[in-house]
Amino acid sequence: MGESVIDNVILLADSYKISHHRQYPPGTSSVYSYFESRGGRFPYTVLFGLQYILKRWLQGSVVTKEKIQEAKELFTAHFKGNGVFNEEGWNYIVERHGGRLPLRVCAVPEGTVVPTKNVLFTVESTDPMVPWVTNYFETIFVQVWYPMTVATNSRIQKQIIHQYLKDTHDNLESLPFLLHDFGYRGASSVESAAIGGASHLVNFKGTDTIAALAFLRKYYHSPMAGFSIPASEHSTVTTWGRSGESSAFRNMMEAFPDGAVACVSDSYDIWKCCEKIWGEELRDAVIKRGKNGGTLLIRPDSGDPPSVVLKCLEILGKAYGTTVNSKGYKLLPPYLRVIQGDGISYRTIGVILENLKVHGWCAANVVFGSGGSLLQKVDRDTQKCAYKCSYAVINGEGVDVYKQPISDPSKTSKKGRLALHHVNGTYVTLEGGRSDPKLASCVCEVIQEFFTKEPHYCPYLIQRRPHCVPPLKLTSRSSSCEIQTQRKTLIYNTAFSNFKSSSTLCKHNPKENKKPLQGSKKRLQKAPYATSSFNQPCSGLLHNKNMLNSQNLAYKINQCWDAQTPQPPVDSCSTALCASPPFFHYSPSEPFTSSPFVIDAVISQLNGKDVLVPVFENGELLKDYTLEEIREKADLSPEDIDVFKFLAEEKT
Amino acid sequence: MVVFGNVQFCGGYTRVDSSHPYLPHPHAQLVAQSSIDKTHTMAAGPVDNIILLADCYKSSHYKVYPPGTTKLYAYFESRGGKFPYTVFFGLQYILKQWLCGPVVTRAMVDEAKQIINTVFKRNDVFNEEGWNYLLEHHGGRLPLRVKAVPEGSVVPTRNVLFTVENTDPALPWTLLVQTWYPMTVATNSRVYKQIIHHYMNLTHDNTHTVEYSLHDAGYRGVSSVESAALGGAAHMINFKSSDTVAGTSLLRKYYHLETVAGFSSPSSEHSTVTTWGKTRELEAHRHMLSTYSEGDVGCVCDSYNIWQCLEEHWCEDLRDLVLERGRKGGCIYLRPDSGDPKEVVLKSLEILGKAYGTETNSKGYKLLPPYLRVIHADGINHKALWSILEHLKNHGWSTASAYFGAGAALLQRLDRDTQRCAYKVSFAEVEGEGVEVYKEPVTDSGKTSKRGRLTLQCEDGVYTTVQSGKGDPAKDQLVTVFENGELLRDYTFREVQDRADITFDDFDIIKFLKEDTD
């Protein structure tokens, strides 16, 4: 039971992906793609759910010979047998990498609230032999749109409720329980329910979608992420017969004599039910239960939500009395609330609460439940999610890649390697080659790679040197441990030799002006290398010896900086691409390290400005977030957007 | 995988021997639960405990039915909705995946107990006794009878589609409601097929290409891999064209598909064109043609300037290669991927028609040469499709000139309200007496539910649901598909497809579209 429909990583892609490996330009050794929300309904997105995809599908040794054979058989039939399937490429991944995917994923930490139109994560291939893996997994990576969109949608609703609670109530204690997830049955599958339910729990703690709890235990280290209360449904009321409605309620209260219970009350006539049954017949029982610490939630489940909720409150208020809180709003007795679970979306919650406010009712009187709108009525276009290639290494040269359809300019994609910076409380995506050189961090990654990877991964260095490093000679019997060891040795060796060659390049720098940039230099000197982000991406792979090297390199770079004048960046994108000038548009006589980009990139990295963090590399998970961390990141903050302004603008 | 005696419980249903794949073991005995796989492997999804397949509040229900309730009878219907009928599909997956065989184990009960007690922060909610009873008296099999209309049947809305009866109220019903999804996709996709079929009839000599005319490009736009598999499979009931490989996997596993149900051909995407650089778009296409030198290929043409790409590259620079492929029997599908669909498709056809010439078919409509077609896969929903085909027809183009692809509109932009699916109890036995059960909210009469035991009868092609047990069981279209943990019907995908096929006296889809004002 619960066995996955798919247990073959090769089948996680659209079938046209099968044919792509032969379509890239010959000489392509790396493909770099990014994921963004190109605008959409909500002004920001909460990134969530990538960790699930990485852990469930991509982590570890996922490709095997059997899986390759299974996929081959399927695709041969699927393409009517014209040999499209890339058996060789997949076999290479098994033999060379022990079935681990040579991919690197850098992402904003899960839970981060990022305005739309910014990069959220990037994916690149790390083995020049199989550059196509980056986009082979587009399909599965793009599915992040779902948890991300649900988390965003649910957070918007939290903002709305929060605002009304602040305006009309003394405290915010109940906020995490004011939007309950009813969406299990309305989700398109158990897996979707689990993912969507978990995304809601990033913001709230009330859920009926148990699948989400299992999901968060398994993938986000959360022992118990959400809570629920006993509640009736129509069948548990209607089986008592039309005349037995009040017996059904009485039984419900007796079965659960304390704590909160919810009773659906619209089986026949909600008004009569509130007035006669709850307001008269069962009044004493409700009050008695209240004395035992019980709370009763009355659930109308049909009709026009704003007026139904108000009318229920009015009827119940008349029967049970109300208190007025410090903000001057009416509140039912603490043992009585209304829960509205029909027709709730981010659009209606505000209307309902506004209607209550206008009529003098506090927002804490009502709890919401949401099903379809929360977990299902969203799609990839809600936040216009896209995964596009922005950079590639072809014949040893890094080139910007982008699309720019004249028939829809909004689909234009970003160019070059990307960085996401948090500047003055907002996020900015820097595109390689034309971003502000003071902030460009793309080169910084090169420096990291310089120490962690074989040199042919480094697109900048190989502008000078063709990628001639032979693949590691591994027998197919090598265990992953052996592979790691061999790779480490190679990393040490190449890092060292490269370091030498690049420092030689520095000395060749013909520039005259030696005016130092004091600020930058100081920051560099203060930088705590050993604990800085330098060692993050390598996650234990790097040895202290390499740290020394990185200090050395920074020192050398520092010298270079002193030895030159920063030049305005060349906008290479207008003319982009491999046919003509190379990525950074340097004249051939100008060595790589003379770029003003390098230094500032280092600074920006050390300042922690690049928010994209390596989370996955070559089959290994580098970050493992807990739900608690994610909740903290996604929490409401004073910097938040004005949700009412957004709602008002959306209306018009 | 869990082992019960000598029955291997794997993939949701029992296998005793291959000739009787669903024969339950007569006395399945529980063996110590040491082997529940809790590792994070791809094989197991996020949920592997059947007790956790229901909304939390279901856990509290066993206590709140009337005392003496011994039977509950519920039904599933589409209470009306966007489309006038539904194609029933997907229940078999849910039954096989989650409910067949001994599915409750002691370990699951313990796990669920712990979770439920924490979720509710109280220990009087979880029905441990009920589940233990199930373990002891039913060997962990669900005492449940499901009767359903055969999968693939096309049934007008507001009719019962399946009924469930059981003696233990705490069973996972939430799960069965999820049938709404494959069912709604199958329905939606069939509506597309009817539209294409209608226009093909009007503007082309034959309808041979209809089942290849709508390609499923929705894998990435679906909310999970499982949903993609379900939606992708549902689409393939009606069409043979799909990129959602997961659908084929599902059909192989749960619907006895032997080969594949949908086909595809090599196609480019933006990244494989844009990596060549803006100045080398032509090279990218040329490379594509030489790499896949025979058969069908699809090329995306809007990376920069769709019109320039069509006029200069495809009509001039690559003309010889296109013609040569044509001589070898291959076809090129050019894909504009942005802009107003109806204008973009027409303009693309006009440009290509001017350069390559057109032929006129017996109905008097223009057609590109057989080696050249346009495929549009951006912004296609059933309304857009209708307007494009109408637009082409008005400009003298045959429907056979264009192919379509759909993603989100096909697999994701649907919800339980699209066909307003509901699952309601209509009958119960309390203290040995049958009681009709219904709800009838004064605030929304559309939510009134059916009453009593139901039968679905079909006379002269017209389906009617008869309520209150007044139907004739002999005429009942509902077939018992599941009983006490055992699957009784195991449909093949072929059967499902046949039942859902378009018929002569089908719903008038164009009339429906004209009346549909949303």
Q: What distance in Å separates the CA atoms of residue A370 and residue A203, rounded to the nearest whole number?
A: 14
Q: Can you list the alpha helix ranges (DSSP code H) found in B267-413?
A: 270-274, 281-291, 306-308, 319-327, 341-356, 382-394, 408-411
Can you give the three-state secondary structure of A60-103, one letter per residue? CCCCCHHHHHHHHHHHHHHCCCCCCCCHHHHHHHHHHHCCCCCE
Q: Note down the domain range covering B152.
A: 7-178+416-450+481-487
Whether A86 has its CB under 8 Å from any CB of chain B: the answer is: no
Q: Which amino acid is at B518?
A: D
pLDDT, tens digit, 9 for 90 and up, residues A248-287: 999 999 999 999 999 999 999 999 999 999 999 999 999 9
Q: Which amino acid is at A585?
A: H
CA separation, residue B440 to residues A568, B430, B437, B445 (Å):
73, 21, 10, 6
Chain B nearest-CA distance from A391, in A, is 7
Q: Considering the domain boundaries, does residue B263 fall inside one?
A: yes
* Residue of A439, A50, A78 whose CA lies nearest to B245: A78
If one counts the domains in chain B, the total is 2
For the record, the structure tokens of A129 come out as 């032999």
Q: What distance in Å separates the CA atoms of residue B224 and residue B236, rounded to the nearest whole number?
A: 18
Q: Can you list the alpha helix ranges (DSSP code H) found in A292-370?
A: 305-320, 346-358
Whether residue B398 is found in the same domain as residue B432 = no
Indicate the pairing of strand A179-181 with strand A366-370. parallel
Q: Considering the domain boundaries, does residue B430 fall inside one?
A: yes
B272: domain CATH number is: 3.20.20.70
Q: Considering the domain boundaries, does residue B268 fall inside one?
A: yes
CB-defined contacts A:B, below 8 A = 450
Whether residue B373 is found in the same domain as residue B232 = yes
Which pLDDT score is estimated for B258?
Answer: 92
Mean pLDDT by 10 residues, chain A (652 residues): 83 94 91 94 96 96 96 92 87 93 95 95 92 96 98 97 96 95 94 97 95 95 93 90 93 92 94 95 95 94 95 97 96 97 94 97 97 95 95 85 88 86 82 40 36 38 29 31 39 38 35 39 33 31 34 38 35 29 30 33 51 91 96 93 90 76
Which pLDDT score is estimated for B518?
Answer: 65
Strand locations in B437-492 (E)? 455-459, 462-466, 479-483, 486-487
* Half-sphere CA count of B112, side-chain side, radius 13 A: 30
For the record, the structure tokens of A142 come out as 């793009």
Whether residue B234 is found in the same domain as residue B367 = yes
The H or E element spanning position A492 is: helix A480-507
Is there a contact between B287 and A146 if contact means CB atoms under 8 Å apart?
Answer: no
Q: Which residue of A has its CA nearest to B273?
A: A24
Q: What distance in Å separates the CA atoms of residue B454 and residue B478, rounded to the nearest whole number?
A: 9
Q: Considering the domain boundaries, does residue B456 fall inside one?
A: no
Q: Tell me the torsion sign for CA atoms A544, A546, A549, A554.
A: negative
Q: Which amino acid is at A250?
A: R
Lookup result for tokens 């994609």: A413
* Residue of B249, B222, B180, B243 whose CA lies nearest to B42: B249
Find the Cα–Cα–Cα–Cα dihedral B396, B398, B402, B404, rounded to 10°: 110
* Residue of B331, B324, B266, B333 whose CA lies nearest to B301: B333
Whether A195 has its CB under 8 Å from any CB of chain B: the answer is: yes
Whether B383 has its CB under 8 Å from any CB of chain A: the answer is: no
Q: What distance in Å separates the CA atoms of residue A502 and residue A642, rounded to the nearest whole number?
A: 49
Q: Report phi then psi at B86, rounded to 5.
A: -130, 145
Whether residue B394 is found in the same domain as residue B426 = no
* Half-sphere CA count of A395, side-chain side, radius 13 A: 10
* Half-sphere CA count of A363, side-chain side, radius 13 A: 29
Q: Considering the domain boundaries, does residue B163 fall inside one?
A: yes
Q: Which region, left, alpha or beta, applies to residue B7 given φ > 0 means left and ψ of -120 to 50 means alpha?
A: beta
Are the C-beta atoms of A361 and A310 separated by less than 8 Å? yes
Whether residue B395 is found in the same domain as residue B426 = no
- Binding-face residues of A in 87-116 toward B, CB within 8 A: none
Whether residue B122 is found in the same domain as residue B210 = no
Q: What distance in Å separates the CA atoms of residue B174 and residue B55, rounded to the nearest whole number?
A: 6
Q: Can you list the alpha helix ranges (DSSP code H) found in A221-345?
A: 234-238, 245-255, 270-272, 283-291, 305-320
Are the C-beta atoms of B325 and B332 separated by less than 8 Å? yes
Q: Considering the domain boundaries, does residue B462 fall inside one?
A: no
- Binding-face residues of A in 6-25 toward B, CB within 8 A: 6-9, 11-20, 22-25
Whether residue B173 is found in the same domain as residue B217 = no
Q: What distance in Å separates the CA atoms of residue B58 and residue B382, rounded to the nearest whole number?
A: 37
Q: What distance in Å separates the CA atoms of residue A586 and residue A398, rounded to the nearest whole number?
A: 12
Q: What distance in Å separates the CA atoms of residue B427 and residue B452, rounded to the nearest whole number?
A: 5
Is there a contact between A214 and B12 if contact means CB atoms under 8 Å apart?
Answer: no
Which pLDDT score is estimated for A560?
Answer: 37
**Residue of A55, A211, A241 lying closest to B47 (CB–CB):** A211
Q: What is the DSSP letter of A594?
A: G
Whether A32 has its CB under 8 Å from any CB of chain B: the answer is: no
Whether residue B444 is found in the same domain as residue B407 = no
Task: Mention every residue, 6+ apart, whose C-beta is less than 8 A from residue A353.
Answer: A160, A161, A164, A363, A366
Indicate the pairing of strand B85-87 with strand B366-367. unpaired
Whether B347 has its CB under 8 Å from any CB of chain A: the answer is: no
Beta bridge partner(s), residue B182: none
Are the C-beta atoms of A542 and A451 separated by less than 8 Å? yes
Q: What distance in Å separates the CA atoms of residue B50 and residue B29, rounded to the nearest whole number?
A: 18
How far apart are the two ends of chain B, measured CA to CA in Å? 47
The H or E element spanning position A216 is: helix A210-220
Ranges of residues in chain B with a pLDDT under 50 are 1-41
Lookup result for tokens 């439920």: B116
Whether residue B404 is found in the same domain as residue B427 = no
Residues of chain B with Cβ-Cβ distance to A266 below 8 Å are 439, 441-443
List b or e across A201-238, with b for residues whose CB sees 16 or more CB atoms inside 10 angstroms: bbbbbbbbbbbbbbbbbbbbebebbbbbbbbbbbbbbb
Whether residue B229 is found in the same domain as residue B355 = yes
C-alpha Rg value of chain A to the nearest Å: 29
- Binding-face residues of B in 283-302 toward A, CB within 8 A: 283-284, 287-288, 291-292, 294-295, 298, 302
Q: Which amino acid is at A476?
A: S
Q: What distance in Å separates the CA atoms of residue B462 and residue B481, rounded to the nearest whole number?
A: 23
Lookup result for tokens 């499982």: B226
Beta bridge partner(s), residue A297: A262, A337
Whether residue B205 is found in the same domain as residue B70 = no
Is there a contact between A74 and B407 if contact means CB atoms under 8 Å apart?
Answer: no
Q: What distance in Å separates the CA atoms of residue A627 and residue A202, rounded to the nearest whole number?
A: 7
Q: What distance in Å separates the CA atoms of residue A621 and residue A614, rounded to the nearest whole number?
A: 9
Q: Considering the domain boundaries, does residue B507 fall inside one?
A: no
- Binding-face residues of B in 68-107 toward A, CB within 8 A: 69, 72, 74, 97-98, 103
* Residue of A405, A435, A410 whose CA lies nearest to A421: A435
- Binding-face residues of B in 210-249 toward A, CB within 8 A: 217, 219-231, 242-246, 248-249
Whether B391 has its CB under 8 Å from any CB of chain A: the answer is: no
* Residue of A559, A578, A531, A537 whose CA lies nearest to A450: A537
Q: What distance in Å separates the CA atoms of residue A620 and residue A641, rounded to the nearest whole number?
A: 36
Q: Please provide the DSSP assignment of B399-430 as one string.
A: GGGEEEEESHHHHTS--TTTTTEEEEEEEEEE
Whether residue B218 is found in the same domain as residue B367 = yes
SS3 B166: strand
Residues of chain B with Cβ-Cβ distance to A380 below 8 Å are 220-221, 407-408, 412
Q: Which of B388, B411, B434 is the last residue of a domain?
A: B411
Q: Considering the domain boundaries, does residue B228 fall inside one?
A: yes
**Residue of A186, A214, A252 lying closest to B52 (CB–CB):** A214
Indicate the pairing of strand A620-621 with strand A613-617. antiparallel
pTM for this predicted structure: 0.84
Are the C-beta atoms of B255 and B493 separated by less than 8 Å? yes
For the record, the structure tokens of A498 come out as 């490269």
**Residue of B59, B74, B120 lying closest to A235 (CB–CB):** B74
Complete edge-to-edge strand list for the sheet that includes strand A28-37: A397-400, A385-394, A28-37, A119-125, A103-107, A613-617, A620-621
Q: What distance in Å separates the CA atoms of residue B299 and residue B282, rounded to the nearest whole number?
A: 11
